[in-house]
Amino acid sequence: MGRYMDGFYEGLGQMGVVPVVVLEDAKDAAPLADALVSGGLPSAEITFRTPAAAESIRLMHEGRPDILVGAGTVLTVEQATAAVAAGAGFIVSPGFSRDVTLWCLAHEVPVLPAAVTPTEVMAVRELGIDVTKFFPAKHYGGLATIETLAAPFVGHRFMPTGGVDARNLSEYLSCPSVIACGGTWMVRADLIAAGRFDEVERLSREAAAIVGECRDR
């Protein structure tokens, strides 16, 4: 795997938490980015679940270069292409699409496909990828399943997303096979809709503190 992936993995591990964001209106992108950076979580996975996704990525990328912004819920090569054109620094998929993954590798774009079964992990590893998303974590057994998968796939690491929050973040991050966690609790839709970016910042700071405590152990 190229240095671009190694560098991405290193940065992901340092961040510890990647906020997973659904934005209905691109006007919220800039204040959200400010809140995340101020709260100590300088990253965002903007999901391709709304028409505002690409424009939100562009505004974050151009207006706040100190935040690592990527695209999530990427299901097709067309979405991956649009995301990267808008400035996405990485691509995340909720499952394993061989076409999307190969496109990203061919264009040296860091990619995190999801894998929750031994067969899926093997398929991803055959392409040289050492880190995968684990989604939805809560419904696929959470940390217990990750630890079970990690036993045969030595060195493989996961980014659990779905059911992760401030209450169990420390438990997840204590597992050597967890590189980072994806979470929505600090960027809830109701907070964004109400313009409560002060609360986004507070929750982000709380999450960043948990990461710091886990990394200092």
Both tokens of residue 78? 């067309």
Catalytic residue from among 55, 62, 78, 133: 133
d(CA 108, CA 96): 17
Contact 164, 146 (CB under 8 A): no
Residue type, 96: F
**Number of C-beta neighbours around residue 165 at 10 A:** 15
Both tokens of residue 190? 């109701």
Active site residue 27: no
CA distances to 12, 16, 199 from 41, in Å = 11, 9, 14
Both tokens of residue 139? 């419904």
The conformation of residue 168, written as its DSSP 8-state character, comes to T
Catalytic residue from among 24, 27, 45, 213: 45
Residue with structure tokens 């996405």? 88
Reported as half-sphere exposure (CB side, CA atoms, 13 A), residue 59 has a value of 17
DSSP for 51-69, written as a single string: TTHHHHHHHHHHH-TTSEE
Both tokens of residue 74? 């990427």
Residue with structure tokens 């591990």? 13
| Positions marked catalytic | 45, 133
